[in-house]
């Protein structure tokens, strides 16, 4: 599904592009992911809106770090070439590196396979005061392995039946995990970067035709592309089952990269900005110490 088409009638120019409203991209329970646009009406000032949000996000990240009672977990999912890496890069460009941690998860190691499937992700959860970013996440365990059940069948699990009940249990596990994180002070925000099949083709061709982008190409990307319809089905099931008010999914149009980045940044500012946080006040006896320190410094010759 595409966003609005701009008018071709020069006598009726399009109105100015809208300011990004974060709530417009939040998943609406009962809807199909296929109903959401892959191309939002391109805001001509998307880069300006992104810059403003990055500046605000930097302030919020400093407050989060100082408050030290909350943490934020950002999860980015999407088809190959949806723009996960570049979105993370641009949205975090103004954030203090000491205040956030980025994890890129690939195929599980033998050691990870000897633990429960959430173990590796649990070890990477953000500390209080920090923003954690998962480039792909535990959702791969109900997405890729659901499309390719041979992956899960080859693992040393205590049971052999891989059916709908198995996947529903996993989705319940994830809901319980995110509820626990919420109750422990972690805000979980999940982004599905919704790229169209045509745009993915364009981006994959771009990687193949540019020597400086060839390193990003993986022949398996083309194999996964053949499972496009099935991936849409399992994304729908995962998003529908795990979207909650406390840990929401956002369906972000991804066909225009700058608009996508601006939307993600706007959502972060909106969600983190609503957390109840404050800068710590000086403890007992420290207020007088502050006054003494100011007087001492101002009295230096």
pLDDT digits (tens, 9 = 90+) for 52-93: 999 999 999 999 999 999 999 999 999 999 999 999 999 998
Please count the other Cβ atoms lying within 10 Å of the Cβ belonging to residue 92.
Answer: 22
Q: CA–CA separation, 252 vs 260, rounded Å?
A: 6
Residue 48 lies in a domain: yes
Confidence of residue 20 (pLDDT cuts 50, 70, 90): confident
Contact, 39 vs 196, CB < 8 A? yes
Torsion angle of the four alpha carbons 116, 118, 120, 126, in this order, in degrees rounded to the nearest 10: -150
pLDDT surpassing 70 at residue 218? yes
DSSP character at residue 135: E
Residue 208 lies in a domain: yes
Share of the chain above pLDDT 70, in %: 91
Higher local confidence (pLDDT), 106 or 112? 112
Tally the domains of the chain.
1
Lowest mean pLDDT among 10-14, 75-79, 238-242, 271-275: 10-14
Most confident range (mean pLDDT) of 103-112, 134-143, 146-155, 284-293 is 134-143
Q: What domain range is 210 assigned to?
A: 22-298
Q: Would you put residue 82 in left (φ > 0), alpha (ψ -120 to 50) or beta? A: alpha
Residue 188 lies in a domain: yes
Angstrom CA distances, 179 to 25, 27, 135, stand at 22, 18, 21
What pLDDT was estimated at residue 44? Answer: 63
Segment 33-47, tens digit of pLDDT:
999 999 997 666 888
Residue 63 lies in a domain: yes
Residue 8 lies in a domain: no
Strand partners, 77: 192
Higher local confidence (pLDDT), 83 or 221? 83
Higher local confidence (pLDDT), 79 or 161? 79
Average pLDDT, integer, range 10-24: 61
What pLDDT was estimated at residue 15? Answer: 45
Residue 13 lies in a domain: no
What pLDDT was estimated at residue 18? Answer: 54
C-alpha torsion sign, points 63, 66, 69, 73: positive
C-alpha torsion sign, points 156, 160, 161, 162: positive
What pLDDT was estimated at residue 9? Answer: 36
CATH number of residue 73's parent domain = 3.40.50.300
Contact, 156 vs 114, CB < 8 A? yes
Segment 177-208, tens digit of pLDDT:
999 999 999 999 999 999 999 999 999 999 99
Q: CA–CA separation, 151 vs 155, rounded Å?
A: 7
Backbone φ, ψ for residue 205 (5° rounding): -65, -40
Q: CA–CA separation, 136 vs 273, rounded Å?
A: 24
Average pLDDT, integer, range 131-144: 96
What pLDDT was estimated at residue 216? Answer: 80
Contact, 231 vs 214, CB < 8 A? no
Contact, 54 vs 268, CB < 8 A? no
Q: CA–CA separation, 280 vs 197, rounded Å?
A: 49
Average pLDDT, integer, range 208-236: 90
Tokens of 5: 């088409």
Q: CA–CA separation, 223 vs 282, rounded Å?
A: 58
Q: What is the pTM of this model?
A: 0.89
What pLDDT was estimated at residue 8? Answer: 35
Mean pLDDT for all residues in the chain? 89
């Amino acid at each position: 599904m595409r966003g609005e088409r701009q008018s071709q009638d020069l006598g009726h120019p399009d109105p100015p592009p809208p300011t990004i409203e974060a709530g417009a991209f939040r998943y609406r329970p009962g809807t199909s992911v296929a109903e959401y646009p892959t191309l939002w009406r391109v805001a001509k000032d998307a880069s300006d809106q992104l810059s403003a949000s990055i500046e605000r996000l930097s302030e919020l990240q400093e407050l989060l770090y100082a408050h030290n009672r909350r943490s934020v977990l950002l999860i980015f999912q999407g088809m190959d070439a949806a723009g996960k890496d570049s979105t993370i890069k641009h949205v975090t460009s103004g954030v203090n590196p000491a205040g956030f941690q980025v994890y890129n998860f690939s195929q599980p190691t033998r050691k990870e396979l000897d633990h429960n499937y959430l173990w590796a992700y649990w070890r990477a959860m953000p500390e209080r005061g920090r923003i954690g970013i998962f480039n792909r996440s535990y959702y791969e365990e109900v997405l890729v392995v659901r499309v390719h059940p041979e992956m899960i069948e080859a693992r040393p699990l205590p049971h052999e039946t891989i059916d709908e009940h198995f996947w529903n249990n996993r989705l319940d596990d994830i809901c319980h995990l995110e509820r626990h994180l919420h109750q422990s002070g972690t805000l979980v925000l999940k982004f599905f970067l919704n790229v169209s099949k045509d745009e993915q083709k364009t981006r994959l061709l771009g990687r193949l035709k540019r020597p400086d982008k060839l390193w990003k190409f993986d022949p398996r990307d083309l194999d996964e592309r053949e499972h496009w319809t099935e991936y849409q089905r399992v994304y729908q099931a995962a998003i529908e089952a795990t979207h909650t008010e406390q840990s929401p999914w956002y369906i972000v149009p991804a066909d225009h990269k700058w608009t996508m980045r601006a939307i993600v940044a706007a959502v972060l500012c909106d969600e983190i900005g609503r957390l109840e946080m404050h800068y710590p006040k000086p403890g007992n006896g420290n207020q007088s110490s502050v006054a003494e320190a100011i007087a001492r410094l101002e009295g230096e010759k």
